[in-house]
A and B are shown apart, each in its own frame.
Chain A
Amino acid sequence: DVKVTQSSRYLVKRTGEKVFLECVQDMDHENMFWYRQDPGLGLRLIYFSYDVKMKEKGDIPEGYSVSREKKERFSLILESASTNQTSMYLCASSRSHLSRLPGANVLTFGAGSRLTVL
């Protein structure tokens, strides 16, 4: 069964701590995404990557950075966590929109990582 795996389901961190959220996909997808989900706001795109070592800012990149050293892994980094970064973080992957294979642009999501910053 194909899947996207997020390393931590629940995390509790303190203000100022550095936080790593890891995401691994086994579908050989080109694109990977990080969203955060907050009540009433839906999903907001933080960063995405369309290839190894490539990254693009989404709609709310401030306070976050990402790393994609390998095709299957996309990490989200909070350099200095703040309370307003308490949220559900969702990782997703997809085939490139340039792919001729079925499922291009369809996102497969991980189960989510709920981060609480105290």
Chain B
Amino acid sequence: SQQGEEDPQALSIQEGENATMNCSYKTSINNLQWYRQNSGRGLVHLILIRSNEREKHSGRLRVTLDTSKKSSSLLITASRAADTASYFCATGLQGGFKTIFGAGTRLFVKA
């Protein structure tokens, strides 16, 4: 089964609104990452948060991590039509090598 599970599976918002996606995972992690995928393409790394960090910002992105609840959230502020994509959380497991992905959240931003 997948290590990470995103919620919601799909999200539709208006341009300018904020988009929040959540991720839950099952085992202890070394880090948690968020990736973006445009339709039919490879994934692009957005942000990494380490297990000893609680919050991280990058431009319009804000990621939080709660290791006690084994959950993370990705907030995209002031969304744009170009943010339309699938977003995946991925967990770097303790012990190092593997990165396990969830099923993703499909975000649609209406202009």
Contact = CB atoms under 8 A, between A and B. Distances in A.
Interface of A: 4, 31, 33, 35, 40-45, 48, 50, 56, 58-59, 88, 90, 92, 94, 96-98, 105-112, 114
A98 B33 CA distance: 17
Given A97-B30, A105-B48, A106-B33, A42 B41 contact: no
Contacts of B41: 111-112
Interface string B42-66: 1111001000000000000000000
Nearest to A31: B97
Contact of A105 (B44, B92, B100, B104): B92
Contacts, number: 67
Contacts of B35: 107, 109
Contacts of A58: 98
Dominant secondary structure at the B interface? strand
Dominant secondary structure at the A interface? strand
Contacts of B104: 42
Given A42-B101, A45-B100, A105 B43 contact: no
Interface residues of B, number: 24
A108 B45 contact: yes
Given A33-B99, A42-B101, A56-B97, A112 B40 contact: yes
B45 A90 contact: no
26 contacts: A4-B42, A33-B99, A35-B101, A40-B103, A42-B88, A44-B2, A48-B97, A48-B98, A50-B97, A56-B97, A90-B43, A97-B92, A105-B30, A105-B31, A105-B48, A105-B92, A105-B99, A106-B45, A106-B48, A107-B35, A107-B43, A107-B45, A109-B35, A109-B42, A109-B44, A112-B41
